[in-house]
Amino acid sequence: MSGPNTEYDPVAVTPLQADQVEAMRDQALAAIAAAEDLKALAQARSEHVGDRSPLALANREIGALPPQARKEVGQRVGQARGAVAQALAARTEVLEAEHEERTLLAETVDVTLPTRRHPAGSRHPITTLSDRIADIFVAMGWEIAEGPQVEAEWLNFDALNLGPDHPARTMQDTFWLEPADSALVLRTHTSPVQARTMLTREPPIYVACPGRVYRTDEVDATHSPVFHQVEGLVIDEGITMAHLKGTLDHLTTALFGEGITTRFRPSYFPFTEPSAEMDMVCFVCRGVDPEQCRTCRGEGWIELGGCGVVNPRVLVACGVDPDRYTGFAFGFGIDRILMFRHTVEDLRDVFEGDVRFTSAFGVEI
């Protein structure tokens, strides 16, 4: 700071001369105007407005002036500083707005974009339905049993009272495995799991066996060489056909709702005696005015599969005492149930593995 002046001598305080103050102001204004972003503006602020800026220093000189000069110079410097402060505020506003706009643009989130590029698949509806059916049996206290898909001919046929020359063997068009004397087949039904269960467990037996089975059928809208069945087997003392009927009624009611019960039609299977085909009430028309019903095609009933009281010859073949125990068994197609339950028109859709088919069933665990 300069020493006190007794006389106002503008020459002694050159920085306070009008053209000098204007030059400082103009430099400051130019620097502010030239600042392209907030960082450059902060730089201009410290250079031209900060404590060590020319105008701040000039301001400090005023106190050293003789009193008569202070007013004029004070005004001059004050105006210059005011103009710079104003320009700084205006430029700050402009640059902040620009900055905000750029940030918003850069951080824009398109909430309509799909969140996952790789959608999770869904379980196959046959798996879900098999599990659901298995759950119904488990809730009744039954166990779930499984067997191999490549099965011994003896278990698939002989143990079930279908000897080598039994005419009923032709009822099930069989895939035989090579070599011819391997005595292995792709199981034609889930009934060999009955035989396996009786051979390995002591009664009482309450098991359900869902699984994949094979027959040499041509592929069309209602046939496939591979399909799915659920087998049920009960072996206990005093078991009758009535227990079978009650179990099936419970199952169809649990799957399709109140009032969907079953009926028997006389039939023949070598492993059950007596045997029956089982039908359930059509869950769409409920047997009322079935002529119009496209689901059961006028029948009022939907065929489920076969059942009966276990033939004593099967009990003997599988090591169960037929004088003490009786039992019932049934086997029905899961694919048919899926088709009815979800109006699947073409069985090929079930087996082709197109995710557009499975994903329509949603994610059900």
Q: Which of 145, 285, 318, 329 binds ligand PHE (CB under 6 A)?
A: 329
Q: How far is residue 79 CA from its own chain's centroid?
A: 70
One symbol per residue from 61 to 90: x for binding ligand PHE (CB under 6 A), - otherwise; what is it? ------------------------------
Q: Would you count residue 272 as binding ligand PHE (CB under 6 A)?
A: yes
Query: Can you say whether the dihedral through the CA atoms of 365, 192, 207, 231 is positive or negative?
Result: positive
Which position among 184, 331, 334, 336 is part of the footprint of ligand PHE (CB under 6 A)?
A: 331
CB of 199: closest distance to ligand PHE in angstroms? Answer: 17
| DSSP per-residue string spanning 37-60 | SHHHHHHHHHHHTSTTSHHHHHHH
* Residue 90 CA from chain centroid, whole number: 55
E strands, 226-364, in order? 226-236, 262-269, 272-281, 301-310, 326-333
Contact flag: residue 189 with ligand PHE (CB under 6 A): yes
Report the residue from 137, 142, 283, 330 that binds ligand PHE according to the rule CB under 6 A.
Answer: 330
Report d(CA 12, CA 65) in Å as an integer. Answer: 10
Instruction: Return the residues of window 294-313 that contact ligand PHE according to CB under 6 A.
Output: 305-308
* Window 191-230: residues binding ligand PHE (CB under 6 A): 191
Rounded to whole angstroms, what are the CA distances from 12 to 15, 61, 75, 81?
A: 9, 11, 19, 22
Q: Determine the Cα–Cα distance for residues 24 and 163; give it in Å rounded to an integer.
A: 116
Q: Least Å distance between CB 207 and ligand PHE? A: 12
**Closest C-alpha to 270, from 151, 165, 177, 174:** 165
- The minimum distance between CB 355 and ligand PHE, in angstroms, equals 30
Beta-ladder partners of 226: 214
Q: 20-43 burial, b if ≥16 CB within 10 A, otherwise e?
A: bbeebbebbbebbeebeeeeebee
Tell me whether residue 203 or residue 331 sits nearer to ligand PHE (CB atom). 331
d(CA 99, CA 96): 5
Q: Which is nearer to ligand PHE, 145 or 329 (CB)?
A: 329
Cβ-based nearer residue to ligand PHE, 271 or 283 = 271
Nearer to ligand PHE, 76 or 189 (CB): 189
- Among residues 256, 269, 340, 357, the one that binds ligand PHE under rule CB under 6 A: 269
Q: Record the tokens describing residue 164, joined without a space.
A: 């080598």
**Least Å distance between CB 190 and ligand PHE?**
7
Give least dist CB 276 to ligand PHE, A.
8
Nearer Cβ to ligand PHE (54/211)? 211
Q: Where does this chain bind ligand PHE (CB under 6 A)?
A: 189, 191, 269, 272, 305-308, 329-331
